[in-house]
Structure formats: C-alpha cells, structure tokens
Amino acid sequence: NHLSFEGEGPSILSGTDLYFGAVESVELLGLKPEYILKDNKGFYYAKLSKKPDLKQTVQDLDGNIYTMSSEAEILKNKLFGESISFVNIPEYKNKIVIMLLTVDDQYWLIQMDYKKYHHEKPYLKKLFIS
C-alpha cells in the first residue's frame, strides 16, 4: 500500500509532499481540505474530510460534473476507485483536469495539467492502489 499513516497525521502518497500554498481549483470551488499534497509532476491532491456537494458551485461557474460510479465504466476508462467525478469548468477546458476521487472511503480532489492526464492514469492508479 502506498499510503503511510503516522498516528493521526496526514496519509502521504508515495512521491508527494505536503503543500501549503494555494491551489486554484480548491479555492474556486470553496473547499476546505484537511491537507494538500503535491508531486513532482505538478499534480495536487487535496484530502477532503467528506464528499463535497459541488453541484450548485459548479453550476454557478457555468460548469458541470460528470460522474463514473459503475465498476465497468471506471475500468473501461483505465481508472480506479469507487467513484470518480470530473468537474468541468469552461475556463479550465483543455487546461486543467479536476477529478473528485472516492477510494477506500477517502475523498480526494486531484488537479492536474490536461496534457498530462491521459498519459498519467497508470501513475495515479499506482499512487492509490497497491
């Protein structure tokens, strides 16, 4: 397993470090994560205490949310987890991918560069699934 737990502290994903700066999508969506991790690819992982209800916020930004929750659809897209929601916001189209991931009863918002997303699916899976 790639998650390490030290007492009640953050579970650090392999190859990431705690990040204390601002993350555009986290701020835009008004989220208050427990903590944020960043890796050397420039991906951000915001650990959320509960699944956020972003429907109204995303609608206010003229966006939409596309959710995959069937195992078949998740596997077909070479992804993982119990549920994945893509937050589509017009100003980020073809720039940033925003994913809400539910895996092992944990909730993560992942922000990554659009150009890297398709190539990095195996990397993401390895981070979360041992």
Q: Where are the domains of the chain?
A: 3-128
List of residues 6+ apart from 77 with CB closer than 8 A: 68
pTM for the predicted model, two decimal places? 0.88
Instruction: Name 36's bridge partners.
Output: 19, 46
3-class state of residue 24 by DSSP: helix
pLDDT tens column, 42-80: 999 999 999 999 999 999 999 999 999 899 999 999 999
pLDDT, one tens digit per residue, over 5-41 is 444 567 778 889 999 999 999 999 999 999 999 999 9
